[in-house]
A and B are shown apart, each in its own frame.
Chain A
Amino acid sequence: EAGVAQSPRYKIIEKRQSVAFWCNPISGHATLYWYQQILGQGPKLLIQFQNNGVVDDSQLPKDRFSAERLKGVDSTLKIQPAKLEDSAVYLCASSLVQGPPDTQYFGPGTRLTVL
């Protein structure tokens, strides 16, 4: 079974530029998550999708971050414009169903460096 795929693996941009990350969850998984992991901290949930609907985006900085999952499968997370403090690893995860305690399976992450 293929795992969660993410691309790119690494990205370096200048502040105020825009960037987009892509995630393809495990086949059949209805729930998709985006986490932000800043160096030295644990991952923090940015947004959770159930199929193509948003379940929780309470910690997404909506003035600069956006995410979509148009067909209920893959998803894109965008940052525009980027700030220095956005430097982090962005992890995508998926689970079969929405409710706890279903196991979340994580992708390898995208490491973003904002200069």
Chain B
Amino acid sequence: AQSVTQLDSQVPVFEEAPVELRCNYSSSVSVYLFWYVQYPNQGLQLLLKYLSGSTLVKGINGFEAEFNKSQTSFHLRKPSVHISDTAEYFCAVSAYGGATNKLIFGTGTLLAVQP
């Protein structure tokens, strides 16, 4: 079974500052890793995903994440945030080679960008 931990429920940050949203996972098998963003009253939108290969993954809107197998982490970063980045961010995993495409989500981190 897989599980995802997002320790920070809310991250306040000033506009144009850098930000890191933390994600740790637990799994007995290899996993694929995802970050989704949810804007108010909208569905989830894929930011980026790690499947294999380079551990640094670049996504949309200037976000990137680094897969660290030894620390079982997949932290999301952005060097300079904008007001429009205010949203809920979810880290998720799915089992490599699994029969289904089931996503296991963390509890989410609210990124609150202040002017």
Contact = CB atoms under 8 A, between A and B. Distances in A.
B107 interface: yes
Nearest to A9: B41
Contact of B102 (A41, A42, A56, A105): A56
Contact of A101 (B36, B51, B105): B51
Nearest to A97: B101
Interface in B77-104: 90, 92, 94-103
B45 A103 contact: no
26 contacts: A40-B107, A42-B92, A42-B105, A42-B106, A42-B107, A43-B44, A43-B90, A43-B103, A45-B103, A55-B99, A93-B44, A98-B101, A99-B100, A100-B32, A100-B97, A100-B98, A100-B100, A100-B101, A101-B32, A101-B49, A105-B46, A106-B36, A107-B43, A108-B41, A108-B42, A109-B43
The 4 closest A-B pairs by CB, nearest first: A42-B105, A106-B43, A101-B32, A106-B44
Interface of A: 4, 31, 33, 40-45, 48, 55-56, 91, 93, 95, 98-109
